[in-house]
Amino acid sequence: MALFKMPSLGADMEAGTLVEWLVGEGETVRRGDIIAVVETQKGAIEIEVFKNGTVSQLLLQPGETVPVGTPMAEIDGGAAGEPAPAAPAPERAARLSAKPAEPERPVATAPPPPRAKAGERVPASPAARRLAAEKGVNLAALKGSGPGGAIVSADVLAAEQPAKLGAAPSRRGLDMDEMRKAIAAAMARSKREIPHYYLQHSIDLEAATTWLAEANAERTPPERLLMAALFVKATALALKQYPEFNGHFVDGRMERSESVHLGVAVAIRGGGLIAPAIHDADTLDVGSLMAALKDVTARMRAGRVRSSELTDPTATFSSLGDRGVEGLWGVIYPPQVALVGFGKVLSRPAVINDQVVPRPQVQVSLSGDHRANDGHRGALLLNAIDKLLQSPEAL
Amino acid sequence: MTEDEIKAVLFEEITAVAPDADPAAVPEEADIRDALDLDSMDMLNVVAALHDRLGVEIPEADAPAFFTIAGGVQYLASRLH
């Protein structure tokens, strides 16, 4: 028997609300199946199960809000040695988080709360502090259940009117206010904890532009490629070459990932963004990457996010597209250690064979976490992306 | 199809890509990418949907016609008649 637990779907998530079960007791599930919908600050997330078996008991009712790590269901079977299912998604043997459905550090992912001296701040997680301020709960009056007695959001919620927790959340869709809070928490943590450094490089796109125009001339509109697909592929291949930029910084050390699950920043119309993982992006051809980009863009905007897409990204890709500006300097999404940003493709003067000629160019940037990697290797990473984009036919 | 019918189809496909957008409120000569905040993926999706729905070949070189409502309607009208 295994317990299916409330997963941690982001650095700042402490609790989730079950919206609905998509399976019933006695049903057989296979790894990768979506079995529940959980409401978080990032909207209603489709939660995947990470083992084969039979749902023997559902432990939560829709509407219940529980902390990360709380058992949600019991799953029997799926004994060791059972053949892996024909997974609908590519096999993710090297998934960074070995047990994504059983997060071990639901609280430790938040910065350690400072020890309070007499008359100083009460130890509490940033999320709990924010929640307490919103709900008018006095932190000093609470007993913390987090590490070192720190107050976590669950403590604040417990001190509040219990009736409020039973309110049924929406089935689908995005709550933009909550998403803004989630972005604020993650980005504030990033800027607080991660010593960012930044590199910039200009890449000539004559070869890529020519190749793309020729490729698209033979394709119908639904099959056409965008330059972004080439950028994603080149970035993923370069991250594979320079693994110190691909993984998570956890408990004071870098955990490299064998797989490149590239988080692709998707702007939500009207504000906000999500960076879901395109799994094994380095192994997909550009046509498949284009299809994946279309798929995640459409689903993110409709508020249909899968849990693995939020937990798995090993680095972030951000492209401002053709209506953006020349360059961007991204904020790393913890616990990742790098973000690669692309500006808008522009025709710029370039010196080729001592002649100034107009060439399509793009500014690519790297935001690196100095705890995990350095500028020299970062420069090699950006140069690798450049080199890869000079041979687009090989991508 | 009349131009009004073509325009209605174009509006439907824009709205399918950007549900919050109101293409009818945009001047017909305005760049809808700016007016409705449509990126290259959105524009590709609009053109792809029109291709599938109307069976019109739209070479990539012609896609800029759809940057305005007037341009898009005129392009489709010339291909459908």
Of B20, B52, B63, the CB nearest to A222: B52
pLDDT at A138: 65
Q: Cα–Cα distance between A343 and A244 in angstroms, integer?
A: 24
**Which range, of A88-92, A316-320, B61-65, averages the lowest pLDDT?**
A88-92
**Do the chains contact at A217 and B41, CB–CB below 8 Å?**
no
Alpha carbon distance A24, A27 (integer Å): 6
Which residues lie closer than 8 Å to A382 by C-beta, 6 or more apart? A199, A201, A238, A340, A364, A366
Q: Per-residue pLDDT for A128 more than 80?
A: no
pLDDT digits (tens, 9 = 90+) for A358-377: 999 999 999 999 999 999 99
Of A130, A342, A364, A388, residue with least CA distance to A236: A388
- Does position A356 have pLDDT exceeding 70, yes or no? yes
Of the pLDDT bands very low, low, confident and very high (cuts 50, 70, 90), residue A340 is very high
The verdict on a CB contact (< 8 Å) between A294 and B59 is: no
- Which whole number is the average pLDDT over A315-327? 92
B-chain residues near A323 (CB < 8 A): 33-34, 39-40
Which of these, A340, A6, A310, lies nearest to A186 by C-alpha position?
Answer: A310
Q: Residue A170: what pLDDT?
A: 42
Q: Could A269 and B34 be called an inter-chain contact, meaning their C-beta atoms sit closer than 8 Å? A: no
Inter-residue contact B14 to B45 (CB < 8 Å): no
Question: In the structure encoding, which two tokens stand for residue A375, read together?
Answer: 């500028």
Mean pLDDT for A28-56 is 86
What pLDDT, on the 0 to 100 scale, is given for residue A285? Answer: 96
Q: How many beta-carbon pairs below 8 A join chains A and B? A: 47
Six token digits for residue A256: 């490299």
Nearest to A217 among B44, B58, B60 (CB): B60
The residues pairing with A4 across neighbouring beta strands, listed in sequence order, are A73
- What pLDDT, on a 0 to 100 scale, did the predictor assign at position A127? 67
Contact B72, B10 (CB under 8 A): yes
Q: What is the pLDDT of residue A164?
A: 35
Structure confidence at residue A19 as a pLDDT band (50, 70, 90): confident
Q: Is the dihedral of CA B9, B11, B15, B18 positive or negative?
A: positive
Distance of residue B44 Cα from the nearest chain A Cα, in angstroms: 7
Q: What is the DSSP letter of A10?
A: S
Tell me yes or no: is domain A2-76 CATH 2.40.50.100. yes
A323–B18 CB contact, under 8 Å: no
Most confident of A90-94, A110-114, A141-145, A295-299: A295-299
Please check the confidence at residue A213 and state whether its pLDDT lies above 50.
Answer: yes
Interface of A with B (CB under 8 A): 213, 216-217, 220-222, 224, 226-228, 267, 269-270, 293-294, 297, 321-323
Q: Judged by CB atoms within 8 Å, which residues 42-81 of B form the interface with A?
A: 44-45, 47-48, 50-52, 57-60, 63
Q: Rounded to whole angstroms, how far apart are CA atoms B61 and A216?
A: 9
Q: How confident is the model at residue A178 (pLDDT cuts 50, 70, 90)?
A: confident
Tens-place pLDDT, residues B28-78: 999 999 999 999 999 999 999 999 999 999 999 999 999 999 999 999 999
Rounded mean pLDDT, A266-276: 87
Per this entry, what is the length of chain A?
395
What is residue A10's predicted lDDT score, i.e. its pLDDT? 76
Residue A84 has pLDDT above 60, yes or no: no
Are B51 and A297 within 8 A, CB to CB? no
Q: Report the percent of chain A where pLDDT is more than 90.
A: 49
Which residue in B has a C-alpha nearest to residue A229's C-alpha? B41
ipTM attached to this prediction: 0.91
Chain B closest CA to A293's CA: distance in Å? Answer: 9
Segment A325-349 shows an average pLDDT of: 96
What is the nearest CA distance from A322 to chain B, expressed in angstroms? 6
Name the residue in chain B with its Cα closest to that of A298: B17
The domain segmentation of chain A, as residue ranges, is 2-76, 195-394
Burial bucket for residue A282 (CB in 10 Å: 0-12, 13-18, 19+)? buried
Q: Is A173 helix (H, G, I), strand (E, B) or coil?
A: coil
H-type helices in chain A, by residue range?
126-135, 153-159, 176-193, 206-217, 227-241, 286-301, 307-311, 375-389
- Residue pLDDT, tens place only, A230-250: 999 999 999 999 999 999 999
- What's the pLDDT at A129? 67
B31: nearest CA partner in chain A: A323
Contact (CB<8Å) B44/A224: yes
Name the token pair of A17: 């609300």
H helix intervals, A102-175: 126-135, 153-159
Give contacts of B41 with chain A, Cβ < 8 Å. 226, 228, 293-294, 297, 321
Residues 6+ apart with CB under 8 A from A184: none
Residue A339 pLDDT greater than 90, yes or no: yes
Contacts of A293 in chain B (CB under 8 A): 41
* E-state strands within chain A: 2-5, 15-21, 28-29, 34-40, 43-48, 53-58, 65-67, 71-76, 196-204, 247-250, 253-256, 262-264, 266-267, 273-274, 277-278, 305-306, 315-319, 338-342, 346-352, 355-369
Q: Which CATH superfamily is domain A195-394 in?
A: Chloramphenicol acetyltransferase-like domain (3.30.559.10)
Q: Which residues of A touch B59 (CB under 8 A)?
A: 217
Three-class SS of residue A52? coil
CA angle B20, A278, A75 (to 5 degrees): 100
Please state the rounded mean pLDDT for residues A141-168: 60
pLDDT band for A313, please (50, 70, 90 cuts): very high
Is A155 a residue whose pLDDT tops 80? no
Average pLDDT, chain A: 82
For B64-78, give one letter per residue: b (16+ CB within 10 A) or e.
ebbbbbebbbebbee
With contact defined as beta carbons under 8 Å apart, do A330 and A264 qualify?
A: no
Q: CA nearest B52 in A: which residue? A: A222
Q: Do A222 and B51 touch (CB under 8 A)?
A: yes
